[in-house]
Amino acid sequence: MSNSVRQPPSPASSSTERISAAPLSKRFDSLYPRHHAASDASLQGSRTVKKTKRSLAGIAVLGVSALLLSGCSAGASEAESNTLKLWHFESDTSAMGIAWEEAIKVFEEETGATVEFEEKSFEQIRSTASQVLNSDEAPDILEYNKGNATAGLLASQGLLTDLDDAYAEFGWDDALAPSLQTTARYDEDGIMGSGAFYGVPNYGEFVEVYYNKDMFAAAGLEVPTTVAELEAVMAAFVDQGITPLAESAAEYPLGQLWYQLALTQADRGFVDDYQLYTGEVDWSGPEVSYATETIKDWTDAGYISTDASGFKAEDAGTAFINGTYPIFYSGSWWHNRFTTEATGFEWGTFLFPEAEMAPGSAGNMWVIPEKAKNKDLATEFIDITMRPEIQALIGNNGGIPVAANTEDITDEKSQELIGNFNTLTERDGIAFYPDWPTATFYDELNAGLQELINGTKSPADVNEQLGGQYQSGVEDIVG
């Protein structure tokens, strides 16, 4: 959600044909953020508000009716060729919704074309994409979820337009950090990371440490810069009878913390093996072993409550908002919510210490169906959404732009958020999410970590279980 509430344009101010829906309440990505980012969630149904340009008063005369009829087909075709049919699932008060509404206005002013906008739910688009995009009802452009099972699948089915030429023409490859391009490229089997560009992300997301500045100050503690210092901070809170980490194992973010701990021992080669299947993952190797053993050690030390095995992400997040826990390791999609709800104390953020990489990715992306009727208009619109002034709207309303000028971001907390993200992208530090490799690994990882913190399985047993489940899922994908 966003701090800014956009006022709807007056009927005379826009020619946009808009189909929208009830406000988002909890984004699909909030169930697990690998799918998005942050902010609002799935819409229920779609809503329609039409605003069309009024033509001059018609002149109808019986004597020229045949002439008028003969021109109908050409007129309809001309109108269609000057209309961009756009779908996305952002709420109109979210950072992206605000920015893209402005992009629509700029697009219409500069091109003279009309945007026919349909705001659909994530689930509507996900469940019908293969059918709709293979029909004459396909939009010219839509927001779609990145990943092998979503955009990759459509690309492998020939339903998405190869955007290599557009990337070269508009310079989008120069605007996007290499790790943000990974989820925009798919090979012939729909596996991300190589092949042609099939989408254009223009916002990002990542995982960082949120901390309660007031609780830190009261305990005389400073932001840690090493894992040892972080453990010392957590031990100090335990000595005061405070469990330091707000956690959830029934859902994220404990799986993200586990992956982050592995990343402190990892390089890009490990990430590529784990995420892109470029090599085998050693589930008894130093990266995974350190992560699982550290979660166990932190639970035994009281840094993580065993009660977290039954907590969901909302439980952990609201407990941080309520000041129960001083530290919450989770995604940027919580940032705007904390800005509006965590008002009883001062809070800040920092990147996980001693880690060059962190969980995160580019956000969902623009794709152009292969059957789109107006591909040139679609690429023009995408390029407008990449302009610094449009990107700044994302940044100043709680989102993470991928191509903004930092001086255009005026909100202090947004500056900190975007600064952390830029630090990661500048060092190629975006490592995606731990459950991405297979369709079932999110639930499997959570279940394994629940057993770990409950003490019903040892770290070695958990690693063996997770390794088998991971490998089985990968084999289903790559054969």
Domain ranges of the chain: 11-52+77-203+363-404, 205-361+430-478
> For position 78, what pLDDT does the model report?
57
205-361+430-478 matches 11-52+77-203+363-404 in CATH topology: yes
Highest mean predicted confidence (pLDDT) among 13-22, 198-207, 411-420:
198-207
Which of 60-64, 224-228, 234-238, 368-372 is least confident? 60-64
Instruction: Confirm if 352 and 226 have CB atoms less than 8 A apart.
Output: no
Summarize pLDDT for 149-180 with one digit per residue, the tens: 789 989 999 999 999 999 999 999 999 988 89
How much is the pLDDT for 225?
98
Residue 63's pLDDT is: 40
Residue pair 172/166 in contact by the 8 Å Cβ criterion: yes
The CATH-assigned architecture of domain 11-52+77-203+363-404 is 3-Layer(aba) Sandwich (3.40)
pLDDT value of position 79: 56
pLDDT digits (tens, 9 = 90+) for 390-427: 999 999 988 999 988 888 999 888 999 999 999 999 99
How confident is the model over 67-120, as pLDDT tens digits?
A: 334 444 445 555 568 999 999 988 888 899 999 999 999 999 999 999 999 888
Confidence (pTM): 0.78
Share of the chain above pLDDT 70, in %: 83
Among 2.60.120.650, 3.40.190.10, 3.30.450.40, 3.30.750.24, what is the CATH number of 205-361+430-478? 3.40.190.10
* 334-392: pLDDT as tens digits: 998 899 899 999 999 999 999 999 999 999 999 999 999 999 999 999 999 999 999 99
Q: Is the dihedral of CA 389, 393, 396, 400 positive or negative?
A: negative
DSSP string, 387-414: SHHHHHHHHTTT--BSS--GGG---HHH
Q: Give the bridge partners for 119, in sequence order.
A: 88
Across all residues in the chain, what is the average pLDDT?
85
If you search the block for the tokens 């639970």, which residue do you land on?
299
Residue 34 has pLDDT above 70, yes or no: no
